[in-house]
Structure 1
Amino acid sequence: MFVLVVGSTDVSKIPGISAAGASLDVLPYTAPADADMIWWGKPKVVDWIPLDPQGHPTPAIVTRAALEEAGFPITLIDAGSFVSPKAPFVDVGGYPAKDPSKETAVPQARELFQRGRELAIGLSQGSGPLVIGESVPGGTTTASLVLAALGYRGSVSSAGPENPLPLKRKLREDSFRRLEIEFGGLSGDGMKAMEELGDPMEPLVAGIASGAPEGKKIVLAGGTQMLAVAAALRHMGIERPITVATTCYVHRDKSADFATLAEAIGVEGWWAPLDFSGSKWTGLSDYEKGYIKEGAGAGGSVWYANYLGISVDSIIAKTEELYSSMVEGKVSQDV
């Protein structure tokens, strides 16, 4: 089962923080459009493809390509978004996260964690792995706060080539000042870190991962956002084996250190060897320059397709085909 959890945070409204949308005005539609894109092959909550400020397409196109090639089952969950998807989704009653520099970010964190544990049984039906992805604009920033509060040094990735580290640093300083803590001040209390500093996706995914039956293969499909979830689980005393599957673009990000963080947290890291350098479309070939990198479970969807016997090359080719259809206006109106 592939699960996409969408969510929102007021952190994404801070100018310059998130590259997961062409502008602050359209950013609330990014996560639901990603969900629609994966479910239907095109967004329905809006009539355009989610883009970054430079016009590069959402990585949900990679996830959709992996789905079309491999045919794995999918479930969409809204953990708490500004705008819900048009595609069928599970509503857990969550709300968007608040600005952690001003107030508790996710007061519902414990309830979302428990709801995730309840959902885990149904999502774990069948013998295959449980692969959980996310789409949360501003989520790399909330991840950086959670990781720092739990004592993990180093930076995290960003959706654009220029990681807005000064903005993230100021938010961390202001948030830690509110909580009257220093670096690592919430070590040993993963739930508190997600509650005070995170976004609604984090406790929900943590609950799903912890509630799955023993022996179920758990793959968190994302970059440093899913490392933050894994870290919170470890600091809640949950030691089950976890793989965090991302893309080669996150692994190569010089402003982050995915492999070192994964090792420190105690999870297996995996990165999809994608290569769009041969694409005829700048929107895709620029992935090789550090744009977009990850999101909507892209890396984990490639892992899942590989698990089912699908080659990376076929996913790259399908991504090119899907993007060509979108750019050329050939997406079927009756999908």
Structure 2
Amino acid sequence: MIMLVILGNTEISMIPGISVAGATPELTKLTPPADAEYLFYEKPRIIDAIPVTPEGHPTPAIITKASKELANFPVLIVRGGTYLAPLVPHVHISSSIGKDFRREKALPRCREIIEKAENFGKELNKLNLKEIVIGESTPGGTTTAQAVLWALGYKAKTSSASPSNPLHLKETTIIEGFNRVGIEIGDLKNNPLKALEEFGDPMMATVIGISRGFRGRILLAGGTQMLAVTALLNAFGENLERYTIITTKWVIKDKSSTFKKTAKELGIDYQYIHLDFSKSRFKGLRDYEKGYVKEGVGAGGAAWLALKIGFTEQDIERKVEELYEKLTRGS
């Protein structure tokens, strides 16, 4: 078993108020490589702090890191398309970020990303892996996900790392993009490549490519962003029986999104992890229970791997507390 974490950036995250995967819109450019580096070091190398929301809530990479340190499963970082490369060993697919789809095509090099990622997926077959877990770090990715879902005909609402999901801002942003292309909801249901090119992000293209190349079971570790990946795979003709989405209870409980409804429409199986930080000593973690952060960096999938190996939710929670205490002490 191996876990892949796909890094992606999209200019959509620079729209004020649309992403809280960073203390400021500008800092969302650094979130994916910083998340990746934190999995391997005490702190990221690219910036001297872990990514936080504007309110100071820690990246879900802290859950992924806790699970990784407990269970010692291998994590492979894949650069799908980011502003900067992470300062850890990684697989390079592309440095092409997603463009602002309100003004131009989001992924003009979409085919190239898919082709390179597919070749990488084929190489993974040689390791005789029966299944892989794929997580992601993509600020602004819930908006690109919702745009792709709408283009394919799913009237979905995606989650947010904030308890105040900016649904109106997402919708007006998507409508601007649809007006540029001259389409309405569902017009691209038979053209997934165009939906991805016009409205997607490099993480999606990378996961599509890897999934098409690798022939084993695939666990998509993420929330509503992985629903968009699933919708694209389905539209490309993939058999969804070998796919499962693994997420957290915070995504499932999010009443502002349509996760369960959309998953049912797609016919995709999902599981979720029951971590609970309500009794944490740290407000940054307790606030996860109030709807902050929810998912990301494959947190649900990493926890699932740790549980599969024999650890408990309480083991993971204690390890997260330990890691967070180190961060607050600056050590």
Please say if 1:313 is aligned against 2:314.
yes
Structure 2 runs not aligned, ≥5 long: none
Cα deviation, residue 74, structure 1: 1.2
The residue correspondences of 1:252-263 to structure 2 (distance < 5 A) are 252-263=253-264
Q: Check the 8 A contact 2:149/2:156 in 1, yes or no.
A: no
Partner of 1:226: 226
Partner of 2:237: 237
Give the whole-Å Cα distance in 1 for the aligned partners of 2:128 and 2:273. 25
Give the whole-Å Cα distance in 1 for the aligned partners of 2:157 and 2:183. 19
Cα distance per residue 1:16-70 (max 9 Å; x no partner) = 1101000123221111100001122421111111100000000000000010111
Give the whole-Å Cα distance in 2 for the aligned partners of 1:41 and 1:272. 25
TM-score computed with the length of structure 2 as normaliser:
0.96
Partner of 2:187: 185
Partner of 2:290: 289
Partner of 2:95: 94
Letter in 1 for 2:98: A
Partner of 2:197: 195
Letter in 1 for 2:196: M
RMSD: 1.2
Paired residue for 1:157, among 153, 156, 159? 159
Q: Check the 8 A contact 1:67/1:305 in 2, yes or no.
A: yes
Structure 1 residues 31 and 48 mapped into 2: Cα distance closer, same or farther (>3 Å)?
same
Q: Check the 8 A contact 2:152/2:186 in 1, yes or no.
A: yes
Structure 1 residues 196 and 129 mapped into 2: Cα distance closer, same or farther (>3 Å)?
same
Cα distance per residue 1:211-257 (max 9 Å; x no partner) = 112xx220011101111011101001111421111111111001002
Q: Check the 8 A contact 1:100/1:196 in 2, yes or no.
A: yes
TM-score computed with the length of structure 1 as normaliser:
0.95
- Give the number of equivalent residue pairs: 328
Partner of 1:49: 50
Off by >4 Å, runs of 4+ in structure 1: none
Letter in 1 for 2:51: P
Structure 1 residues 142 and 6 mapped into 2: Cα distance closer, same or farther (>3 Å)?
same
Cα distance per residue 1:260-298 (max 9 Å; x no partner) = 211211211111111001100001010000001111110
Give the whole-Å Cα distance in 1 for the aligned partners of 2:246 and 2:261. 14
Structure 1 runs not aligned, ≥5 long: 331-335
Give the whole-Å Cα distance in 1 for the aligned partners of 2:87 and 2:124. 21
